[in-house]
Chains A and B, each alone.
Chain A
Amino acid sequence: MSFNQINSIASSGMAAQRLRVQLIAANIANSETTKTPEGGPYRRKDAVFRVLPLGGPASGPETAGVQVSQVISSNEPFTSKYDPSHPDANAEGVVLYPNVNPVEEMVNLTEASRAFEANVSVVRAARTMALSAMDILRVQ
């Protein structure tokens, strides 16, 4: 049934954007974390999106959902700060801070929430359409 298909596409989009917001939250929360279990300061994380093909009609344009194929850690250089009293400072007294840029995170957050809203509006539209189809049954 077509409306179920529409809803599952939109929910795949919402799930992907939600995971992205989760990673952005982690990035912002850890923007000053100098020590992680893996060693070294926190690395900025980002989600990689891939098309999730859904079985549809054999011909014509294809419908597809979206999925997060992997979460990557950024390899950008860390920012360094001179602070000899810090417990994570190296021999020269330099502390490495995460490669998280708060401005970049805020821009990504806005983008992710707009994309999420777009998917919500699809769900709303599908709902209105389904209701108007059901209205056909109410013939007096």
Chain B
Amino acid sequence: MFDLISANPMIQAMDRSMSLASRRTELIASNLANIDTPGYRTQDFDFNTALKAELDKLDGHQAPLTRTDPRHMGTTSSNSLPTTTDPVAPAYERNDGNDVSLDRESMLLNRTQMNYQLSSNFVQAELRKITALLRATP
């Protein structure tokens, strides 16, 4: 019965999405804290690709690879994040070697926050459905 919650694809997917969103918020916090640090480079990852990779793993789209030889390369660990495809424009770089853009980070902060809220609302809606279902069961 608890598969309704623990193996619920919607909840699992949204869980991954929320983890990635909070990881990205951490990076945005780093970027904004270091907005005046000489030589600091903007840190980010490609959210869409990272989420897609997580979801693919979830659905079992990728056959699990077994290492039959120690020389085999390992599959990507869940910790590795794809590098960003949305690089900061070189025009942002100031003469102290710092390329943090306040506009870009503020915009990303808002977007990430909305992503997170959307995901948590989806989880909540799913849980409401399950509760309603349990109530309807005599």
Chain A positions near chain B (C-beta within 8 angstroms):
2-3, 5-6, 9-10, 12-13, 16-17, 20, 48-51, 56-66, 111-112, 114-115, 118-119, 121-122, 125-126, 128-129, 132-133, 135-136, 138-140
Chain B positions near chain A (C-beta within 8 angstroms):
18-19, 21-23, 25-30, 32-38, 40, 43-45, 77, 79-81, 83, 102, 105-106, 109-110, 112-113, 116-117, 120-121, 123-124, 127-128, 131
Which of A3, A49, A126, A135 meets B37, CB within 8 Å?
A49
A51 and B34 contacting across the interface, CB-CB below 8 Å: yes
**Cβ of B80: which chain A residues have Cβ within 8 Å of it?**
59-60
Which of B26, B105, B127 meets A6, CB within 8 Å?
B26
Question: In the complex, how many angstroms separate the beta carbon of B100 from the nearest chain A beta carbon?
Answer: 10
- Roughly how many angstroms separate A61 CA and B35 CA in the complex, as a whole number? 16
B27 and A61 contacting across the interface, CB-CB below 8 Å: yes
> B-side binding surface: helix, strand, loop or mixed?
helix
> A-side binding surface: helix, strand, loop or mixed?
helix
**Cβ of A140: which chain B residues have Cβ within 8 Å of it?**
128, 131
B36 and A125 contacting across the interface, CB-CB below 8 Å: no
